[in-house]
Amino acid sequence: MVTCYTKDRNLALVRWPIVDALPSLLQNAHRVHEWTVEISNSVGSTIRGRGPLFGHSEVLYTCDPRNVEYMVRTNFSNYPKGPEFLEIFDLIGTGIFNIDYEPWQTQRKMAHTVFTSKNFRNYISSVSRKGVEEALLPLLSHVATHETTLNLEDVFMRYAFDSIFTVIFGKSSNCLSITFPDDEFAKAIDDGTNGMFVRNILPSPCWKLLRFLNLGTEKKLAKARKTIDRHLEEYIASKKEELRKGVEASDLLASALSFLFAGRDSTGTSLTWFFYMLWKNPRVEEKIMEELRQIYSAKNKDGKQPFVFESEDLKGLVYLHAALSESLRLHPPLPMNLKMCQEDDVLPDGTIMKKGMKIYISVYAMARMKWVWGKDCLEYKPERWIDVDGKLSHVPIQNFFVFNAGPRTCIGKDMAFTQIKLAVAAVLFNFHVEVVNGHDVRPQPSLVLHTKNGLMVKIKRRVLQ
């Protein structure tokens, strides 16, 4: 038995006969992302181990950017997601995020055609800006007027869901209103995501037994699947009827579920962590405000309030983009990535890979490695993204895998930045966000980096000058 400790002598990793690291994983499942940082610092940035209980395959954990770069770009074809990935994430079907090889290439080409279209980019900007102006800001104004606290993560998840819902189905979900209506569809997505996370923690025989017996998270996942299918059938039927009547389609109906999951969770959580980091770092908030004031002074001729920015105005703001990138570095929406090894190989750090090996890549831990990002890796420092000439630096990108890299680079990256920047600029410029005193903010153990307790805040109007 091999035991490794963290500095405070808490167990980081115990490797047992037969079950290997499984007990340590289960013991730390409630704080799995922090645990990956601890084992990376105490054991190493690349660790090999045995596969799931009752299995014979090996697994690999890594947060080494050299290995990740090799797998996602240099030798991309040897590291697909694999059939086990598709089985674990079967809830979202055989969409672009789950599949490999020719089916993936076909869907990728189709999606790329849509996402690179100027008309589609304009549509994204229009939908997002409308959501900010007609729903997000009125909701926050209502909260500010009544001086109540609210869970800002819930608000941002609603904003993100409504935006991507409108993009896909051509109409609003109406979930972003002052009544905070319950949304059965969105809740089902949350339950489904949680169920798929548990599948990654438990050995496959265990979660498959739970699925067979319809117990625990598998029971919730099955219920979520039925709810999601029912809603999608209704929305798709409605859209088909609109198309039959000649209504123009400017959406992503063909890949609805995959993009609903990705668009909602990535945008919503990114906004949440960003405003938390601004609250902790007021100097960063003030620098972004300086950029926004310049746009406001040049464009707001009639003194209209609240003021809503255009997406084109925000593209050239260097510090805003750097601050967002730094927040995404520390709080990647998808903190863990999964792959498999197709054929025997050797990674750049010398690790020997075997065919069929399951791979866990921690983007969350990578951001917290001093040897990767420097001694200040734990600091929120937008300046690391800006060069001496005051322009965005491309140097940090080599260790930045938040949007993946190589052939599977996130196709919705630009769309996500558009949605996020429009919301950030409008909320930040019109309101001051203050986290409730004593509120505990930490990552939730999940596929997507939600906060465990939400982000409880107070909203106050800014006096615009």
Residue count of the chain: 465
* Structure tokens belonging to residue 212: 């067979």
Reported as half-sphere exposure (CB side, CA atoms, 13 A), residue 132 has a value of 25
User: Measured between alpha carbons, how far is 428 from 346 in angstroms, rounded to an integer?
Assistant: 47
Cα dist. 293→130, 163, 169, 213, 304 in Å?
21, 26, 35, 59, 14
**Taking each helix axis from N to C terminus, what angle separates 256-280 and 152-169, rounded to the nearest 10 degrees?**
150
Compute how many other C-beta atoms are within 10 angstroms of the C-beta atom of residue 307: 19
Q: Which letter does DSSP use for residue 255 in this model?
A: G
The secondary structure element, H or E, covering residue 432 is: strand 431-435
User: Measured between alpha carbons, how far is 3 from 265 in angstroms, rounded to an integer?
Assistant: 36
User: Measured between alpha carbons, how far is 270 from 333 in angstroms, rounded to an integer?
Assistant: 6
User: Measured between alpha carbons, how far is 289 from 323 in angstroms, rounded to an integer?
Assistant: 12
Q: Is 410 annotated as a binding residue?
A: yes
User: Measured between alpha carbons, how far is 423 from 432 in angstroms, rounded to an integer?
Assistant: 14
Q: Which residues are annotated as a binding site for heme?
A: 410
Q: Which residues are annotated as a binding site?
A: 410
